[in-house]
Structure 1
Amino acid sequence: MAGGRPSEFNKIWNNEDGLLRIAGWARDGLTNEQIAENMGIGLSTLYEWQKRYPEFSDALKTSKEVVDLHVENALLKRALGYEYVECTYEPDKETGEMRITKRITKQVVPDTTAQIFWLKNRKPEDWRDKQQIEHSGEVNIAQTLKAAQERAKT
C-alpha cells in the first residue's frame, strides 16, 4: 500500500459527519485547544492537519467566521437599540389551538457599554483610554525641588 497506513484524520474525521462536528464546535465558539481536546488529539496535530487537509482547515475557518459575524451583528444591534414584538398566546376556546391574543412592540434602548466597546475596538485612535501627551521643553527637577522646599519653609 503506497503512502503507508491511513491517518486518524482520514479514518475518523474526513467524512461529512466528522467535518460537521468540527464545524459545529468552531461555530459554538470553542478554541482550537478545546476542539483538539474534543477530537482526542494534541494541539500540534490539529495545526498539522489544518496544513495538510484543506477541507479540515475550511471547516474550522468558515465556521469561526460565521459565529464572529453573528456576534458582531448582535453587538451592533445592542449598541444601537432595537424593537421587537412580544406575543401572548392562549388556547382558542373552540379549537384548543394556541393563538396570538396580544402583540406588543417593545424597545430595547441603546447600550452605552456596547457603544464604548464598539468604538474602542473600531476607532482606537479616537476612543482609547490611554492618551498620548507629548511635552516639549525642559523640566529642571533641581529648580522645582528647591522652589518646593522654599515654599515649605514659609
Structure 2
Amino acid sequence: MAKGKYQKWLEDENLLLMQGWKRNGLTDEQIAHNMGISINTLNKWKRRFIQIRQALKIGREQSNFIVENALFQKAVKGHVTAQIFWLKNNWRDKYNDSQLSVEERELLKHRIKDSELDTKIKEAKLKILQSEGANAEDHLLELIEAIEKEDDKEHDTDQGINS
C-alpha cells in the first residue's frame, strides 16, 4: 500500500524542517512550494494534522522571539526609535499616543472586561454542554452566577479606585 504524501511530512525531521522554514520567515506559500504541494493542500493539512500546525506555529513564535530580543537589545543600547517603539507597545498606559480622553479609555477598559466575561461564559457553557449532557443546565447556571459574582467584585474594586 502506498504512503500518502502527507505522511512523510509528519516525520520528526520534516516537521523540524517546516518549523525552521517558518522561523526563517518563509510564508506558508513558500513553505508549500518547498514541500512540493499547493497552498490549499498545506492549509488542509494544517487543519487535519496538529503536528504540522504546531510546527508552523512554533517556528513563527521562535521568529517573533528573535525579533523581539533584537529590538530590545537595540532599545537598551540607546537606539531611540527602538526605545520609542518598545515603550509605546509595552508600557501603553504611560506612553500611549491615543487621542482618547481618560473617560473614553476607561469605557474601553470596561468594554474589554465585559467582552472577556462574555468569552468566559461561552467557553464555560461549551465545556459543560460537552461534558454534562442532560445535567448541563444546572451546572451552567451555577458557573454563570460564579463568574458574574467575580466580575461584580472586580467592578466594585474598579469603582473604589476611580472614586
Q: TM-score range by the shorter chain?
A: 0.5 to 0.7
Residue identity in the other structure for 1:41? I
Q: Does 1:116 align with 2:116?
A: no
Give the Cα separation in 1 of the matches to 2:47 and 2:84: 38
Cα shift at 1:131: 3.5
Residue identity in the other structure for 1:121? N
Give the Cα separation in 2 of the matches to 1:67 and 1:127: 26
Alpha carbons of structure 1 residues 36 and 124: separation in structure 2 relative to 1, 3 Å: farther
1:8 to 1, 5, 9: 5
The aligned residue for residue 22 of structure 2 is 26
Q: Does 1:66 align with 2:62?
A: yes
Residue identity in the other structure for 1:9? Y
Q: Which has the higher helix share?
A: 2
Residue identity in the other structure for 1:117? F
Cα shift at 1:22: 0.7
Give the Cα separation in 2 of the matches to 1:22 and 1:112: 36
Give the Cα separation in 2 of the matches to 1:76 and 1:50: 32
Secondary structure in structure 2 of the residue aligned to 1:41: coil
> Where do 5+ consecutive residues of structure 1 fail to align?
82-109, 134-154
Q: Which has the higher strand share?
A: 1
Cα shift at 1:44: 2.0
TM-score w.r.t. the length of structure 1 is 0.55
Cα shift at 1:58: 1.3
Counterparts of residues 51-62 of structure 1 (less than 5 Å): 51-62=47-58
Identity %: 43
The aligned residue for residue 75 of structure 1 is 71
Alpha carbons of structure 1 residues 39 and 128: separation in structure 2 relative to 1, 3 Å: farther
Runs of 4+ deviating beyond 2 Å: 119-133
The structure with more radius of gyration: 1
1:31-70 C-alpha deviation (Å, 9 max, x unpaired): 2222112112222221211111111111111122122112
How many residues end up aligned between the 2 structures?
102
Residue identity in the other structure for 2:29? E
TM-score w.r.t. the length of structure 2 is 0.52
Cα shift at 1:124: 5.3
Alpha carbons of structure 1 residues 121 and 36: separation in structure 2 relative to 1, 3 Å: farther
Alpha carbons of structure 1 residues 41 and 123: separation in structure 2 relative to 1, 3 Å: farther
